[in-house]
């Protein structure tokens, strides 16, 4: 849940006030019958927390504490960001240097209209040779009038490397810049060579943590990814397109816990049970899961909101990977074979995710549906010494069998 460069914030408020953690993103709490959204843990004014994901008006934070750490969602407006550390200040100074390259591109990046006109006047061919790079340099830096001027000069927003750059603009520049480019003909469904990320995929895959770092470093940044996603969908961006890895915008939104964007995509027709083909050599399916629900289990870091959202929209809780389970690979490699032959429940049992297992079981997960090698979820939990998870699954086994079993929780237990 937390970015590599830790950004910190201080809790604002008057003495005696309490800022309670929410275990689930409150934006989803409003749509479900859940009393567990608000936890007992709270912060007080002047507590310093580490910022994780930012989703709308809420931030996922971690408070180190003395004896134990606490984490969850809190109201972003109650936080005051602290100054960046020395490393970020150095990076900011380095970032603000003028880029090297053709004069027309440098002028566009800096936003200097006079230098741009001079560059075109002294070398008219530069507009044809480097016009697209200049256009997107201006757009990336939110220079609206300069971007418009280059379009008025005839620069094609779909020429050359434009497709790859449009996604970057959609994810990191203002919505107004994005609208300008699309209004002038930029293709919202373009797929650049290489990884094949459409602009909608790029927006969904953008970390809100990067947004915090960009601001600290003085970079121009898109503070409303949700608005960009909404606009792309309004302009008929294809919501179920996939990249070369088989990932859709929905599955990409899961890695950075972009719950609001995932919710928007689902309402816009995203297939919650889109299958990532494991036979594709580029596929991420056997590692991160063949469905969005599996992927949400893989990326689970304490906040169950995304899993809850997918279940609410009909995620297949009993889907099992068609690939053969490979025990040696599963135990000896770093996540390479995470979902081979697995269900979401057997994976949660492997990891010891009690909360996730409980949510899956409450939403219809079959406690007796085994891993591909025949190992049922309870025994998988036992194999990994997650006894509390095994006990939980055993309760649901009893419900399925409609009788109480005398067998021990784990083989050998008395």
Length of the chain: 414
105 and 23 share a domain? no
Q: What is the reported pLDDT for 34?
A: 44
Per-residue confidence band for 224, with pLDDT thresholds at 50, 70 and 90: confident
- Report the C-alpha gap between 112 and 110 in whole angstroms: 6
pLDDT confidence bin for 164, thresholds 50/70/90:
confident
Instruction: Tell me, yes or no, whether 55 lies in a domain.
Output: yes
Q: How many domains does the chain have?
A: 2
Between 387 and 9, residue with greater pLDDT: 387
Examine the fold and report which residue of 208, 238, 268 is the final residue of a domain before the chain moves on.
238
Instruction: Identify the domain boundary among 82, 98, 131.
Output: 82
What is the predicted pLDDT for the residue at 27? Answer: 55
Domain end point (choices 82, 105, 123):
82
**279 has a pLDDT exceeding 80:** no
154 vs 168: CA distance, rounded Å: 21
Distance CA 141, CA 150 (A): 14
Q: Do 155 and 216 belong together in one domain?
A: yes
Q: Compute and round to an integer the Cα radius of gyration of the chain.
A: 24
Pair 68, 204 in one domain: no
Could you tell me if residue 195 is left (phi over 0), alpha (psi between -120 and 50 degrees) or otherwise beta? alpha
Let me know if residue 13 belongs to a domain: yes
Indicate the average pLDDT of the chain.
82
For the whole model, what pTM was predicted? Answer: 0.74
Q: How far apart are CA 3 and CA 62, in angstroms?
A: 12
Q: Which of 16-20, 32-36, 97-101, 334-338 has the highest mean pLDDT?
A: 16-20
Read off the pLDDT of each residue in 343-364 and give the average, rounded to a whole number. Answer: 94
Instruction: Answer whether residue 58 shows pLDDT above 90.
Output: no
**Shared domain check, 97 and 66:** no
Segment 207-229 mean pLDDT = 62
Looking at the fold, whether 173 and 54 belong to one and the same domain comes out as no
- 394 in a domain, yes or no? no
In a domain, 275, yes or no: no
| The predicted structure's pLDDT at residue 281 | 47
Co-location of 157 and 40 in the same domain: no
92 and 221 housed in the same domain = yes
What range defines the domain where residue 63 resides?
A: 7-82
403 band by pLDDT with thresholds 50, 70 and 90: low
Domain shared by 146 and 204, yes or no: yes
């Amino acid at each position: 849940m937390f970015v590599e460069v830790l950004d910190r914030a201080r809790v604002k408020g008057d003495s005696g006030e309490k800022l309670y953690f929410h275990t689930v993103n409150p934006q989803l709490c409003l749509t479900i019958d859940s009393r567990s959204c608000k936890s007992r843990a709270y912060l007080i004014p002047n507590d310093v927390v580490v910022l994780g994901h930012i989703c709308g008006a809420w931030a996922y934070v971690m408070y180190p504490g003395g004896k134990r750490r606490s984490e969850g969602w809190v109201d972003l407006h109650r936080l005051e960001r602290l100054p960046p550390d020395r490393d970020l200040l150095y990076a900011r100074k380095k970032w603000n240097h003028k880029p090297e390259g053709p004069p027309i591109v440098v002028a566009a990046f800096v936003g200097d209209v006079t230098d741009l006109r001079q560059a075109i006047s002294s070398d008219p061919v530069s507009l044809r040779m480097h016009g697209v790079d200049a256009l997107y340099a201006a757009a990336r830096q939110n220079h609206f009038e300069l971007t418009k001027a280059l379009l008025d000069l005839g620069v094609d927003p779909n020429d050359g490397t434009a497709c790859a750059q449009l996604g970057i603009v959609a994810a990191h520049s203002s919505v107004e810049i994005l609208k300008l480019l699309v209004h002038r003909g930029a293709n919202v469904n373009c797929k650049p060579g290489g990884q094949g990320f459409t602009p909608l995929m790029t927006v969904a895959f953008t970390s809100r943590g990067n947004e915090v770092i960009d601001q600290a470093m003085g970079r121009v940044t898109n503070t409303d990814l949700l608005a960009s996603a909404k606009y792309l969908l309004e302009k008929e961006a294809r919501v179920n397109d996939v990249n070369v890895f088989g990932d859709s915008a929905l599955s990409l939104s899961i890695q950075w816990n972009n719950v609001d964007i995932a919710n928007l995509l689902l309402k816009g027709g995203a297939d919650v049970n889109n299958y990532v083909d494991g036979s594709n050599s580029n596929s991420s399916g056997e590692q991160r899961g063949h469905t969005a629900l599996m992927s949400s289990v893989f990326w689970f870091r304490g906040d169950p909101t995304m899993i809850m959202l997918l279940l609410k929209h009909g995620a297949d809780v009993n889907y099992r990977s068609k690939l053969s389970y490979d025990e040696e690979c599963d135990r000896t490699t770093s996540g390479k074979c995470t979902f081979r032959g697995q269900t979401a429940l057997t994976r949660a049992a492997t990891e010891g995710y009690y909360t996730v297992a409980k949510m899956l079981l409450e939403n219809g997960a079959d406690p007796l549906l085994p891993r591909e090698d025949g190992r049922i979820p309870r025994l998988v939990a036992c194999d990994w010494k997650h006894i509390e998870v095994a006990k939980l699954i055993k309760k649901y086994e009893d419900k399925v069998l409609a009788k109480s079993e005398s067998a021990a929780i784990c083989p050998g237990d008395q």
